[in-house]
Amino acid sequence: MIHRKLIRPNLSDLKEKMAAGPSSHRPRPKQVPPEQTNAEAFYYLKQMNAKTPMVVVLNDGEQLQGVIEWYDKTCIKVNRDNAPNLLVNKHCIKYMYKADETSGTASDSEQEEGF
C-alpha cells in the first residue's frame, strides 16, 4: 500500500485573500436588464395626448380606426366616430399605425406590435 499525502490548501492564506477585498481578476456579474423599458407607455401616452387618429389592424386582418382613449396591461380602448367604442385585447392586435399615413401600411417607426 502506497501512502499518499493529502494536499489541502492553507485556510489562513484563503482568509487573507478574502479579507484583502474583492479580487481584481474576478469579473463582476452583469446587471439584469430592466423588465420594462416603458416604451409602450410612452407611445400610447403620446398618441392619447395628441388625440392622433390611429388604425389598429387585428390578427384576422380587420382594421379599426379611431383614437386611443386609454390603455392598461392587457387592452386598449379605441373611440371611433359613427361606430361603437371598442375595448381591444392587446394579444388580438397585429400592429397599429397613424391614420394619416398615406400608404396602406405603417413604416417601422410608426408600427406598434401587439402584446
- Which tops the pLDDT comparison, 16 or 97? 97
Domain layout of the chain by residue ranges: 52-113
pLDDT of residue 25: 59
pLDDT at 12: 80
Domain with residues 52-113, CATH architecture: Roll (2.30)
Of the CA atoms within 13 Å of residue 66, those in its CB half-sphere come to: 18
Residue 48 has pLDDT above 60, yes or no: yes
Write down the pTM of the prediction.
0.58
Tell me the pLDDT tens digit for each residue of 78-108: 999 999 999 999 999 999 999 987 555 544 4
Q: Is 12 helix (H, G, I), strand (E, B) or coil?
A: helix
Element containing residue 60 per DSSP (H, E): none
Assign 3-state DSSP to the chain and report helix, strand, coil percentages, each to 5: 20, 30, 50
For residues 94 and 114, what is the distance between their CA atoms, to the nearest angstrom? 5
CA distance 55 to 107: 13
Q: Mean per-residue pLDDT for 22-50? A: 82
pLDDT at 63: 95
Q: Is pLDDT of 2 > 60?
A: yes
pLDDT reported for residue 5: 72
pLDDT band at 110 (very low <50, low <70, confident <90, very high): very low
Position 102 scores a pLDDT of: 55
